[in-house]
Each structure stands twice: as C-alpha cells, then as structure tokens.
Amino acid sequence: MSTTPPLTDLTIHPVTADRWPDLERLFGPRGACAGCWCMFWRLRRAEFGRGPAAERRARLKGLVDAGQVPGILAYAGDEPIAWVSLGPRESFPPLERSRTLKPVDEQPVWSIVCFFVAKSHRRQGLMVRLLQGAVAYAASQGAQIVEGYPVDPAEGHRVSGGSEGYMGLASAFRKAGFVEVSRPSERRVIMRCVTAHE
C-alpha cells in the first residue's frame, strides 16, 4: 500500500529561505540533475561548466538567502515533490544570448526554464498543475506574460526527461492555457500565457 499523499493535497509555495531545506531534500545529494542545482540557465555557460556542483548549490542558496525567489516548490502533504524554476527573463543570461530562444518581441516576460519532479511522482500529470502554480506566482509578482520553452515531440515519440523534457512538454503547456507564439525549431516551441494581472 502506498504512503504517498494523494495529489489532491498538492500545495505550491515560493522558495524562500525557510523552504531551502525542502528544496535540498527534493534535489537530493546529486543536486537534481547531475549536480546542476538548477543553475544551468542562471549562469553563463563557461561559468556553469567550470565550477563543481557544490559551487552551483552555493550560488542557488545565495540567491535564496538574498531574498530572491528562484522558483516554486510543490508539496504533497508535507513532502516536497516538484520544483519549477522561473523569474523575469533577464534573470537567465544564457536565455538572453540564445539564438534559438531569442525574444519574440520587446514585451517583458517571466520565463519558466526548468521542472524537476521527484521520481515517486513522475508521469502522474503534475506538469499542468505546476504550470498553473507558476503562472499564479508570477502574476502575484506583477508579471503580465509568462513564457515557456517546452519540447513538442512528434506523435508517438518519447521525450528524454534529462536532455529535453526538463523544460516541459508543449501538451501540458497547452492544457495550462499557454499558446504557441514561435517555433524556433521542429521540436522546440515558445509558448505564452497572459495572466489575469494584465
């Protein structure tokens, strides 16, 4: 019999200093994906590649300790089960320099750049609820447009979570109210949701 709380108990909170231990627990000793600590989009590529995982952990913790909110955590009961990294687009230097994910227009947007879900809760349809929570949080901070960069695989094709799926799936973004605004490659799309704040 499973002891996992039902997903009806799902709650979402911004990652603040008091929730840092929960983020550490979710990410585990490997720092989520191979020691990334969700800093891939927050550090310039050369900076990301030359530092060890412990340094990336310290950089993320430094953001949180400084009062910045780098993302949201989802909980099933008291257990942290998922993370979404988001913030104003300019918070992500590699995104600003990306040729593939260049800005669609001059409007200010908040970007969703990463999802991490505990193994025990993967493939349970969480992404739509995580997106709804991310949009609600961004809107509470004044965002009028929330943007994501999910993969949109051809029908029948699987997505590798580590190498492409970490930015989300277009099907989940659509279900959460996002619309495609650009398709910079065959599989990668730029999608937006206009918040009720506008």
Per-residue HEC secondary structure of 92-149 comes to CHHHHHCCCCCCCCCCCCEEEEEEEECHHHCCCCHHHHHHHHHHHHHHHCCCCEEEEC
pLDDT of residue 4: 45
For residue 148, give the nearest of 99, 185, 188 by alpha carbon.
188
> Where are the chain's structural domains?
7-194
pLDDT of residue 79: 95
pLDDT tens digits along 27-54: 998 888 888 999 999 988 888 888 889 9
Check if the beta carbon of residue 47 is closer than 8 Å to that of residue 108: no
Check if the beta carbon of residue 111 is closer than 8 Å to that of residue 86: yes
pLDDT of residue 26: 96
Report pTM: 0.91
Domain 7-194 has CATH 3.40.630.30: yes
pLDDT tens digits along 55-99: 999 999 999 999 999 999 999 999 999 999 999 999 999 998 898
Check if the beta carbon of residue 80 is closer than 8 Å to that of residue 22: yes
